[in-house]
């Protein structure tokens, strides 16, 4: 299908961007789990593209790191070699961010000069440009929160940064699908009802991703590493131990983990219902395949979440769980698009 598509170069470009954003999220997760995110205390978009090489060059960022709260309160025993181990992950994260910018901008101007964009498509590409720039600003805003008095990134800013990355991916992926599947979907009452239900499911998935970021930022995955109970009970008192009461759902690690657990049940149930509704004969083979894939992804993701919890968030499982969230987000978007593109 793509080989005969007149927009093939643009589609490949957009899917390349999707893959790089996915890689960015994965490396960002590794950066967080290895506690590397605050190792680079300066934010330079152009300067600093090349990493330190000589011992003298390494001393410069190391000395700057020594002035940060993270070094002074947590890592003051770090040697230069230990500093390098965390610096490289954050460097890779930022370098990939620069790479994504170039991968977007250079082809964008090429396609613009060659007049490959019609007016509606150009508007969409400008939306991606704004979203990408905003994502970079949010990254700086997030890191800045950990370079102040306390060496901890705000979990609210972490969630905003993560959701922003998912948003950039979502729009890029959707626009690519619009070009790949330009044909109209026959509108029926069944399609309309399922589309509405799928939108609700997608919204709950996004909410779950946000709470996943809260869990990560508050290190809530290190609490209550038992299942299905949280410790000795299903509803421990610690989940409502903060005052005022609303903070238990946003700032209490036990409360946030509780919410994340139970939204997982809701997501799993909703996806099963979507799949069951799509099993009816009036749906196309593509729609059924998309629903089947989404069911497989949510099942694997649920298992990964359980293992990540039981083993107290080891790096490998933590990264796989975050990648699983990305896959679930993408599969739900793909299924929603199969029900009829709404440009």
What SS3 state is found at 146?
coil
- State the pLDDT at residue 234: 95
**Nearest residue to 267 (alpha-carbon basis) of 303, 306, 298, 221:** 298
- State the pLDDT at residue 165: 93
Judge whether residue 152 has pLDDT over 80. no
Between CA 182 and CA 184 the distance in angstroms is 7
Q: Please, where are the H alpha helices in the chain? A: 8-33, 55-65, 69-73, 80-113, 119-145, 155-180, 189-218, 253-278, 285-310, 315-338
Looking at the chain, the whole-number percentage of residues with pLDDT higher than 70 is: 94
Q: Produce one character per residue of 185-214: b if its CB has 16 or more CB atoms within 10 Å, e if not.
A: beeeeebeebbeebeebbebbbebbbbbbb
Angle of CA points 231, 234, 240, to nearest 5°: 90
Looking at the chain, the whole-number percentage of residues with pLDDT higher than 90 is: 62
Question: Is there a cis peptide before residue 4, judged by omega within 30 degrees of 0?
Answer: no
Please tell me which of 49-63, 175-189, 199-213 the model is most confident about, judged by mean pLDDT.
199-213
- Let me know: does 221 contact 29? Beta carbons within 8 Å: no
Please tell me which of 98-102, 180-184, 268-272 the model is most confident about, judged by mean pLDDT.
268-272
- Which sequence spans correspond to the domains of the chain? 1-182, 185-343
Residue-wise pLDDT tens digits, 288-341: 999 999 999 999 999 999 999 999 999 999 999 999 999 999 999 999 999 985
Between CA 159 and CA 201 the distance in angstroms is 20
Give the range among 127-136, 145-154, 289-298 with minimum mean pLDDT: 145-154
Judge whether residue 184 has pLDDT over 90. no
Between CA 103 and CA 219 the distance in angstroms is 34
Between CA 6 and CA 25 the distance in angstroms is 31
- Tokens encoding 121: 């498509």
- CA torsion angle 216 222 227 233 (round to 10): -110
HSE of 138, CA atoms in CB hemisphere, 13 A: 20
Between CA 93 and CA 209 the distance in angstroms is 20
Average pLDDT over residues 7-15: 95
- Let me know: does 336 contact 202? Beta carbons within 8 Å: yes
- Let me know: does 125 contact 117? Beta carbons within 8 Å: yes
Judge whether residue 148 has pLDDT over 70. no
Angle of CA points 248, 253, 254, to nearest 5°: 75
CB atoms within 10 A of CB 169: 24
Residues 6+ away with beta carbon under 8 Å from 188: 282
Residue-wise pLDDT tens digits, 33-61: 888 877 887 766 555 567 888 888 899 88
Between CA 81 and CA 307 the distance in angstroms is 32
Q: Is 103 exposed, middle or buried (0-12, 13-18, 19+ CB in 10 A)?
A: middle
Average pLDDT along the chain: 90
- Tokens encoding 176: 């690519």
């Amino acid at each position: 299908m793509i080989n005969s598509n007149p927009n093939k170069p643009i589609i490949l470009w957009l899917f390349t961007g999707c893959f790089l954003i996915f890689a960015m999220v994965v490396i960002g997760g590794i950066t967080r789990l290895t506690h590397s995110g605050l190792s680079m205390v300066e934010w330079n978009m152009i300067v600093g593209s090349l990493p330190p090489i000589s011992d003298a060059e390494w001393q410069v960022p190391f000395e700057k790191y020594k002035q940060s709260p993270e070094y002074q309160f947590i890592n003051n025993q770090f040697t230069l070699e230990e500093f390098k181990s965390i610096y490289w992950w954050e460097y890779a994260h930022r370098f990939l961010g620069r790479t994504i910018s170039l991968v977007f901008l250079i082809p964008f101007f090429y396609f613009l000069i060659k007049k490959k964009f019609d007016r509606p498509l150009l508007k969409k590409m400008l939306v991606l440009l704004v979203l990408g720039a905003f994502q970079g600003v949010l990254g700086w805003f997030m890191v800045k929160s950990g370079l102040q008095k306390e060496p901890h990134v705000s979990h609210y800013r972490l969630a905003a940064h993560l959701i922003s990355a998912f948003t950039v991916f979502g729009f890029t992926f959707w626009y690519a699908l619009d070009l790949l599947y330009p044909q109209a979907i026959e509108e029926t009452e069944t399609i309309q009802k399922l589309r509405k239900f799928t939108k609700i499911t997608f919204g709950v998935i996004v909410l779950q991703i946000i709470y996943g970021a809260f869990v990560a930022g508050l290190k809530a995955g290190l609490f209550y590493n038992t299942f299905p109970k949280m410790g000795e009970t299903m509803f421990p008192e610690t989940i409502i131990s903060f005052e005022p009461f609303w903070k238990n759902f946003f700032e209490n690690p036990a409360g946030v983990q509780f919410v994340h657990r139970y939204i997982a049940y809701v997501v799993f149930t909703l996806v099963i219902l979507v799949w069951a509704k799509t099993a009816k004969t009036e749906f196309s083979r593509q729609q059924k395949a998309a629903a089947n894939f989404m069911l497989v992804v949510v099942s694997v993701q649920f298992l990964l979440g359980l293992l990540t919890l039981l083993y107290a968030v080891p790096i490998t499982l933590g990264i796989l769980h975050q990648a699983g969230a990305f896959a679930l987000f993408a599969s739900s978007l793909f299924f929603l698009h199969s029900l009829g593109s709404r440009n």
